[in-house]
Chain A
Amino acid sequence: MIKLILLTALILSTLFAQVKTEIKVPYMPYEIKMGKGFDAVQANCLMCHSFGYIPNQGPQSRKFWHEKTIKMIDAFKSPMSEEDIKTVVDYLFEHYGNGKEE
């Protein structure tokens, strides 16, 4: 009988969760550069990922940033307009570029 009770207690014990309420993922501020085209970056990029993804790539060429932007459209289906693609790439290259076209 005692064994039975112990066993029940063991089974029930698995039902206690470590976290009882909703978790809250903190919002982090990023030192993102302001400038022409920032609104388009905010409207398009932030839908899927934080600004953390941008400076993390390091300074890159215009081609690199163009390819990244196209990947967001082709692979992840971002509904970015043709006009926004240009604006976003210009912004990224201006503020996170390495000065090289390719």
Chain B
Amino acid sequence: MKRRDFFKTSIVASAALITSSAVAGVTGQPNGTRKVSKYAFPEKRPLITYSDRPPLLETPISVFTQEHTPNDQFFVRWHLPDIPTHIDQNSYTIHINGLVKKELKISLNELKNSFAQVEVSAVLQCGGNSRSAFTPTAGGIQWGSGAMGCAKWKGVRLKDLLQKAGLQSNAKWIGFNGLEKAAYFETPTFIRELEIDKLDEHVIIAYEMNGEDLPYLNGYPLRLIIPGYYSDSWVKMLSNITVTDKYKSLFFMDKAYRIPNNETESETPQKRHKTTKPITVMNVKSVIGYPESGAKIYHHSEVVVRGVSWDGGFGIKKVMVSIDDGKSWEEAILKDNLGRYSYREFRYSFKPTKYGKLNIMSKAINSLGDEQPMSENIGWNHGGYKYNGIQIVNVEVV
């Protein structure tokens, strides 16, 4: 009953915000009230489900107390409706072609046995994660905070594959293509293009996630891993790599996953910024997995707030927690570092001394000194990308 009252209060509060300044576009808290569906998708537990075709599954926020997100709770996002439902791993090959000295067709077995095997813990986050925080509605799926996860990815370096194929002197761009297909032949294929110079040795082609085969819905048997970058270019069911000398104009590169090309990366709904740029490197962010908004906590009990923090690979310096609406901030304890691309777990314990409503907030700060802004200070953008506002968890002390 009380719990419901809480939701009501927050709905009223956000409605008030919306009417007061809808002209400029306002940013609040992402939707945190959606429940998991009763349908479990292949290799997954029931997750927050937006669509079955293509599958769009969000991880519940309570999972974000762990530095690695379990495979069966890991978020899923496909772009096109037709996904292969069976892969024969004995005949699966990845092709490398275009401006290479020797075209290659590499089998999974070869990949696992003929190249150096590497591992990296890295956060995979949709550029539109937390999009539901933007008003008016920004285009795209209205994700809460769980269009993301962190896994230990194992595979081979892209660089090693390219070296084996041998790049021609005019090679400049690489196109990555997976096996998902559109309903219409004319629909643009989900090809991502990256500039060769921008790819470092951390870019890998992974066949394993947290010590298991990748789940089908996360791109079995191979996916591209670009640590530090939003996941729009982490192509799933990767089947083809084409090296070119020119950038091809493609919908998913030219229109989708782009933000206003200005300093604040923002615009107004009425006056869109004229030029855009790709979303690329992730900004600093943290999410509280426990407690959840609407929860009751006991007066004078030992409460341990837990969450995860991350950035684009510069490394988390500290996470600050406030339990007095931002008047004061205290440093949370950070768990051991699993590498600069990984989630960094944090925890903060306190004893609630007052009955009634309490807001818990977390603010991550990275090694560059970048820190999370309050959500109302984040400018609106039409695609609803790169939200990294300070989360506010409303609980009640009883």
Fill in one digit per residue for A26-54: 1 if any B CB lies within 8 Å of its CB, else 0: 11100000000000000000011110110
Alpha-carbon separation in the docked complex, A79 to B183 (Å): 11
Residues of A within 8 A of B188 (CB): 75-77
Chain A residues in 8 Å Cβ range of B163: none
Residue-wise interface mask of A (8-38) relative to B, using a CB-CB cutoff of 8 A (1 in contact, 0 not)? 0001001101110111111110000000000
CB of B397, distance to nearest CB on chain A (Å) = 32
In Å, the complex CA distance between A18 and B207 comes to 12
Q: Does A78 contact B (CB under 8 A)?
A: yes
Assess the B41–A25 pair: CB atoms within 8 A.
Answer: yes
B81 contacts partner chain A, Cβ-Cβ < 8 Å: yes
- The smallest C-beta distance from B183 to any residue of chain A, in angstroms, reads 5
Chain B interface residue count, Cβ-Cβ cutoff 8 angstroms: 44
A50 and B216 contact, CB distance less than 8 A: no
Q: Is B53 engaged at the interface, CB distance under 8 Å to the other chain?
A: yes
In the complex, the chain A residue whose C-beta lies closest to that of B87 is: A17
Q: Is the CB of B109 within 8 A of A15?
A: yes
Contacts of A21 in B (CB 8 A): 86
Q: Contact: B251 with A75, CB < 8 Å?
A: yes
Contact of B42 among A14, A19, A60 (CB under 8 A): A19
**Is the Cβ of A52 less than 8 Å from the Cβ of B184?**
no
CA distance A26 to B51 in the complex (A): 10
Whether B85 pairs with A22 at a CB distance below 8 angstroms is yes
Q: Mark B205-245, 1 if CB is under 8 A from A, else 0.
A: 00000001101110010000000000000000000000000
- Which of B51, B55, B89, B186 interacts with A17 by CB under 8 Å? B89
Question: In the bound complex, do residue A28 and residue B81 qualify as a contact, i.e. CB atoms below 8 Å apart?
Answer: no
Q: Are A14 and B109 in contact (CB under 8 A)?
A: yes
- Tell me the bound Cα distance from A27 to B41 in angstroms: 10
Is the CB–CB distance between A23 and B52 below 8 Å? no
User: Do A50 and B213 have beta carbons less than 8 Å apart?
Assistant: no
Q: Which residues of A contact B40 (CB under 8 A)?
A: 26
- Complex interface: chain B residues within 8 A of A26 (CB): 39-41, 52
Which residue of the partner chain, among B43, B89, B112, contacts A23 with CB atoms under 8 Å?
A: B43
- Among the listed B50, B212, B217, B255, which residue makes an inter-chain contact with A56, where contact means beta carbons less than 8 Å apart? B50
Query: Which single residue of chain B is at the shortest CB-CB distance from A77?
Result: B186
Check B90 for interface membership: any CB of A closer than 8 A: yes
**Nearest CB in chain B: distance from A4 CB, A:** 15
Chain B 86-114, CB within 8 Å of chain A: the 1/0 string?
Answer: 11011000000000000000001100110
Contact A48 B42 (CB under 8 A): no
Interface 1/0 per residue, B171-187 and A, CB below 8 Å: 00000000000111011
Asked whether B86 lies within 8 Å of A23 as measured between CB atoms, the reply is yes
* Complex contact B142–A76 (CB within 8 A): no
B115 to chain A, nearest CB (A): 13
A19 & B51 in contact (Cβ 8 Å cutoff): no
Closest-CB distance, B106 to chain A (whole angstroms): 14
B53 touches A50 (CB 8 A): yes
Would A28 and B52 count as touching, CB distance under 8 A?
yes
Please list the 7 inter-chain residue pairs (A to B) with the smallest Cβ-Cβ separation, ordered nearest first: A52-B51, A77-B186, A23-B42, A22-B86, A18-B213, A28-B52, A50-B51
Beyond A28-B37, A56-B51, 13 additional contacts (C-beta under 8 Å) are A11-B109, A14-B112, A15-B109, A19-B42, A19-B43, A19-B216, A23-B85, A24-B85, A25-B42, A25-B53, A53-B51, A57-B137, A76-B184
* 5 A-B residue pairings within 8 Å (CB atoms): A14-B109, A23-B86, A25-B42, A48-B81, A52-B52
